[in-house]
Amino acid sequence: MRLGSGTFAACCVVIEVLGVALFLRGFFPAPVCSFSGTEHQTESPAPEPSAGAISNWTKLPPPLFSKVVIMLIDALRDDFVFGSKGVKFMPYTTYLVEKGSSHSFVAEAKPPTVTMPRIKALMTGSLPGFIDVVRNLNSPTLLEDNVITRAKAAGKRIIFYGDETWVKLFPKHFVEYDGTTSFFVSDYTEVDDNVTRHLDKVLKRRDWDVLILHYLGLDHIGHISGPNSPLIGRKLSEMDSVLMKIHTSLLSEERETLLPNLLVLCGDHGMSEAGGHGASSVEEVNTAMILISSAFERKPGDVRRPKYIQQTDLAATLSIGLGLPIPKSSIGNLIFPVVEGKPMREQLRFLHLNTVQLSKLLQENVPSYKKEP
């Protein structure tokens, strides 16, 4: 039986539509998310494990840190810190990595490796989709459950300086902010000076709990002249000086506080050999992440080589560190070295909170999931 030309054309159109639909379904997958909303006040506590008769496991643990500073350097790929460039141009950071009170990681960022989706991943613990590449040009308000919204709801005072993408994602969340634009890629000096100029004053103040800094200069240099430019070394030296200023200030302040402070150095994505980003090459997805705190003391001879983690693990870790519930859509794990110095019972409590949150997410997204009794 021979098909008419009209029937054949109709079949081709149907196959073409199905192919496009299949491609879009894979390229823009439905995000893994919690359907229970973002109302934090009505959230039920984690269930009580089978422990002793008297237990406080159903209560959210108190914060581990007094203050948290997040220093995000755009396009900070791992070898800029842990490779030869780091040794040469970032001596203070290298000292902290090799001998200081810190834990170092190579944090893998999933594609798309552009700024807005990476900020979402860091703060929600979830995996943004490729549709966010388009939204990166004009970021809408982030409605998904996240660390910033949780912190604000808990009364944390948050200050931000840097890439204005944060201000668009989290409007009305910061008690003070100063945004810089990322579209003048020829500017790699003033764009960072406008962040650093606030530090001398803000580090002396006691009226904030979380400070977020997002430096764009390194990324701009990459776009202009690539990762092997002499300008890269100068910018890394500048960032090393900024890190030293923040760290020494936090240490001096700890004499007046009961809890230690936490300094997080991280990148949102890496940098390709051509100087760009957005794809999935090793240079673009491997970013440096260093957690620095006097709570992470190490004994002489304690060698801590950078471990591999997922970038999404930061959201759960920051939540535990600030005494907040973990974002409901987070797929990240608690970065265990942060709590390994705590008593065993506390470690188990933190892991229990993370497990309960991930279990709820599984139940809501996988209909066939059944938890063992």
Q: What is the pLDDT of residue 41?
A: 45
Q: What is the pLDDT of residue 302?
A: 86
Instruction: DSSP for 211-258, please give it.
Output: EEEEE-HHHHHHHHH-TTSHHHHHHHHHHHHHHHHHHHHHHHHGGG-S
Q: What is the pLDDT of residue 312?
A: 97
Q: What is the pLDDT of residue 46?
A: 60
Does pLDDT of 373 surpass 70? no
Residues in the chain: 373
**CA–CA gap between residue 139 and residue 124 (Å, rounded):** 15
Q: What is the pLDDT of residue 40?
A: 47
Q: Could you read off the pLDDT of 82-138 as tens digits, one per residue? A: 999 999 999 999 999 999 999 999 999 999 899 999 999 999 999 887 655 555 556
Q: What's the whole-model pTM score? A: 0.87
3-state DSSP assignment of residue 162: strand
Give which of 300, 301, 296, 331 is closest to 313, Cα–Cα.
Answer: 331
pLDDT band, very low/low/confident/very high, at 331 (cuts 50, 70, 90): very high
pLDDT band, very low/low/confident/very high, at 184 (cuts 50, 70, 90): confident
Give which of 141, 137, 121, 140 is closest to 129, Cα–Cα.
Answer: 121
Mean pLDDT of 220-245: 97
Q: Where are the domains of the chain?
A: 67-364
Q: What is the pLDDT of residue 5?
A: 73
Q: Could you read off the pLDDT of 271-304 as tens digits, one per residue? A: 999 999 988 999 999 999 999 999 999 888 888 9
**CA–CA gap between residue 66 and residue 68 (Å, rounded):** 7
Does pLDDT of 76 surpass 90? yes
Give which of 173, 176, 213, 170 is closest to 191, Cα–Cα.
Answer: 213
Q: What is the pLDDT of residue 35?
A: 46
CATH code for the domain defined by 67-364: 3.40.720.10
Does pLDDT of 317 surpass 60? yes
**CA–CA gap between residue 242 and residue 1 (Å, rounded):** 77
Does pLDDT of 269 surpass 90? yes
**CA–CA gap between residue 254 and residue 87 (Å, rounded):** 28
Q: Could you read off the pLDDT of 239-266 as tens digits, one per residue? A: 999 999 999 999 999 988 889 999 999 9
pLDDT band, very low/low/confident/very high, at 48 (cuts 50, 70, 90): low
**CA–CA gap between residue 242 and residue 311 (Å, rounded):** 23
What's the CA angle centered on 114, arms 112 and 119, to 5 degrees? 100
Does pLDDT of 53 surpass 50? no
Give which of 326, 357, 350 is closest to 146, Cα–Cα.
Answer: 326
Q: Could you read off the pLDDT of 1-45 as tens digits, one per residue? A: 455 677 877 888 888 888 777 765 655 555 555 444 444 445 556
Give which of 289, 31, 70 is closest to 166, Cα–Cα.
Answer: 70
Q: Could you read off the pLDDT of 187-199 as tens digits, one per residue? A: 999 999 999 999 9
Where does 254-312 have alpha helices with state H? 282-285
